[in-house]
Amino acid sequence: MNSKKATAALALATALALGASACSSSSSDDGKKGTGKGGTTSSASAAKDAALTGIVNASTKAGGTVTLDNTDVPDSLDPGNTYYGWVQNFSRLYARTLLTFKPAAGKDGLTVVPDLATGLGQPSADAKTWTYHIRAGLKYQDGTPITTKDIKYGIERSNFAPEALSNGPTYFKAYLAGGDKYQGPYKDKNPNGLASIETPNDTTIVFHLAKPFADFDYLATFSQTAPVPAAKDTGADYVKHIVSSGPYEFKSYTDSVGADLVRNPQWSKATDPVRSALPNEFKIKFKINATTVDNDLLADNITVDSGGTGVSPQTQAKVINPKYAKNTDDSYAGATSYMAVNPNVKPFDNIDCRKAVEYAVDKVSVQTAIGGNVKGDVATTLLPPTVNGYAKFDEYPSADGKGDVQKAKDELTKCGHPTGFSTNLTARSDRPAEMAAATAVQNALKKVGINASIKSYPAGKYFSNFAGVPSYVHDHQLGLMMTAWGADWPTGYGFLDQIVDGSAIKPSGGNNLQELNDPAINKALSDAISNTDAAARTQAWGQIDKMVVDTATVVPLIYRKNLLYRPASATNVTITQAYLGMYDYLLLSSSK
């Protein structure tokens, strides 16, 4: 299938088609379909799972206020300093990017469409040079023009200044020519910035890569490509005064409390065919108790739980009864909950001790603890079945998914700890399902003599201050860490790279919690993403997944599902698989 003339654009189109197929559910579209300025406008009745493939309570009415709650704080609302999927989704309200995912129902929501750009990227035949042109007439909230120099600067600050912005992914740094040497705009005062991002004029931007990257259009959807005016940038404090390029601007923002977004009068539908921007206002509150969030949804006091991970286990029993079930959507999240096993924390420097954990964990008990199969399926791989490249395998089998105590004890004997050992296990304190899963893991490990003390940390700082900080992990002997991951984009590379490649290990804000830095895995990832043969790339992702699981540094637990609840006042409600199976916040509006 490979050809000397095959372009990266063709490879991307193939990947998109495969990804869309993999992410579609068994349900059929519900209601009529049409096309509007915001994408698909299919209308679905308010029935269980209706938002999986249709738009529930479709409306073209402008006005109203969308209210969102979150159980903790975001890593950052700064589009250049975030990695949380819900923030990537939410930030599209005020931060436009080169490309974005189409706000549409079902598989159409996986389609990449132009946003600031006039079209998809124009790649060279070897996928090492990518060119984009942006629309004329684009403006910030203060009326100043948006140029490609602002997009270039936004990328430079987001990927190359970890001393100020440490939370986001580092794909641009890894792939841009000279990215390994550039120190970012706060240290490098050269006004021309990184030479491998060219802006020959105010509407053209050219990326020169050190190696081929066939998935580059997906990178152009990241919030890191949102423009930032250099004159207004204040580093880590930029979050307090974000300059909007989208239909909404910040009326107020208070750290750890919330934010209020109102219409940006400089935004124009003429330069933004993607957004309908119906609501007048978006109000979001942070650090709201999970049960309170659920109760407010059921009482129709808020529009949506912004975290998008579904109702808590305590509420689940209530919402699956007929009174509430018609307002629920049980969505595959394109994500896997797993436990990282850090080989830099003893005794996990010994692979047999790691294998003991693999065999000891009772995954069915974890599934039960988080709410049963409505919250997900037992996992044996890192890649979930909804991601292009998934291959089915089980390297640490047990007859019923409940673990194998005898094999775990055999591995303990091999690693010199026949009676077990003690370690620490981390989880996010404000995520009840994750805490419940950690307790189930703790109980399973105890049966083979492994005593795991649970250490809980807030979600908003989990990666930036604790589990994602190698020095903290080593000093506090955090051998086991609960986490979950969804694809940055719906291919194997978009899922695996930031959690298993050695280059993704960072001083803080890292997601490769197990600090895996295996040369063979690193090379396999690089070789695969350089291949413009889409079929060969797809096959490689499953092979790399198996290589990772064979290191026994990750324990796949659950292919996640989110049991979401939509109150009656929520309109234009649909699931987006592009953002981990949560509701699409670009479409969402409210009758209130």
Give the residue-averaged pLDDT of 543-566.
Answer: 97
Which of the four pLDDT bands, split at 50, 70 and 90, describes residue 98? very high
* Greatest distance between any 2 Cα atoms in the chain: 70
Taken in order 416, 418, 423, 427, the sign of the CA dihedral is: positive
Give the pLDDT of residue 43: 60
Query: What pLDDT score was predicted for residue 19?
Result: 34
Tell how far CA 358 is from the center of its chain: 25
Residues β-bridged to residue 426: 455, 481
pLDDT of residue 8: 32
pLDDT for 245 beyond 90? yes
Spatial separation of the C-alpha atoms in residues 159 and 80, rounded to whole Å: 8
Indicate the average pLDDT of the chain. 91
Alpha-carbon distance of 417 to 427, in angstroms, equals 25
The model's pTM is 0.80
pLDDT in tens, 127-185: 999 999 999 999 999 999 999 999 999 999 999 999 999 999 999 999 999 999 999 99
pLDDT category of residue 30 using cuts at 50, 70 and 90: very low
Q: What is the pLDDT of residue 399?
A: 79
Can the peptide bond before residue 212 be classed as cis, meaning omega within 30 degrees of 0?
no
pLDDT digit string (tens) for 371-392? 899 999 999 999 998 888 999 9
Radius of gyration of the chain (CA): 23
Domain ranges for the chain, please list them: 8-286+566-590, 331-562
**Is the pLDDT at 46 greater than 90, yes or no?**
no
- The share of the chain scoring above pLDDT 70, in percent, equals 92
* Nearby residues of 174 by Cβ (< 8 Å), 6 or more positions away: 503
Q: What does the pLDDT look like over 396-438, one tens digit per residue?
A: 999 788 999 999 999 999 999 999 999 999 999 999 889 999 9
Q: Which fold has domain 331-562?
A: Dipeptide-binding Protein; domain 3 (3.10.105)
Q: What is the DSSP letter of 44?
A: E
The DSSP 8-state label assigned to residue 573 in this structure reads B
Mean pLDDT, residues 83-112 taken together: 95
In this prediction, residue 394 carries a pLDDT of 97
- CATH code matching the domain that covers 8-286+566-590, chosen among 3.50.50.60, 3.40.190.10, 3.20.20.190, 2.160.10.10: 3.40.190.10
Q: Is the pLDDT of residue 24 over 60?
A: no
